[in-house]
Amino acid sequence: ALVLAKATTIVAAPLSGGPLYPVAGALFGAGPAILYLFLGDLLGGTVAFFVARRFGRGLVERILAKSNAGFLDKALDLMGTVKGFFVARVCFVALPEAVAYGAGLTKLPYLPFAAIYSVIGLAPAAVLAWLGDAAISTGSGWMVGLGLVGGGVAAGAGALLFAKLADRGAAPAAPANPDGE
């Protein structure tokens, strides 16, 4: 049930899976929770990847405001390579659904997507599952709140970093000589 719930939070993008991480740690202990969350993230990411691949950009454009179309072009250009997808996954570690749908719109092969997507996703899963487990063990829930706030700050910082990298990567190449010839 946890694996399917976690997968659903990625496929149904407006749903937030953040609270599931510490809850899973509290219910199952850190080790099993990390495994279940890993499987749910990989299943949901895989479905989102192939939904985007099948239904295309129109689906993503309906989700995003028209004013974000330029950013979407830059983000997809960056995410179309293994290195660029790695950067996007790190920058958007708190938004796995965004990178899964985005990668599905590129020519990035599935296997590099799945490897990067799942390995980078282990870090927040491990930290938040451990915090949920520790909250139950110690009887102190403040650690879970601190972890969720930290995740929110990380998400904002990652989005800003990605926007800067996407802008830099999309800049036109300078002419070979100053006269533009």
pLDDT by residue, tens only, the chain of 181 residues: 999 999 998 888 666 777 888 888 988 998 999 999 999 999 999 999 999 899 887 876 665 444 455 667 777 888 888 998 998 888 888 788 888 888 999 999 999 999 999 999 998 888 888 888 887 776 666 665 666 666 666 666 666 666 666 565 543 333 344 444 4
Confidence (pTM) = 0.74
Radius of gyration in angstroms for the set of CA atoms belonging to the chain, rounded to a whole number: 18
Amino acid identity for residue 10 in this structure: I
SS3 letters across 135-168: HHHHCCCHHHHHHHHHHHHHHHHHHHHHHHHHHH
Would you state the torsion angle of the CA atoms of residues 166, 12, 30, 125, taken in this order, to the nearest 10 degrees?
A: 0
Task: For the beta carbon of residue 51, count every other beta carbon within 10 angstroms.
Answer: 15
Task: For the beta carbon of residue 174, count every other beta carbon within 10 angstroms.
Answer: 8
Tokens of 88: 């996007």
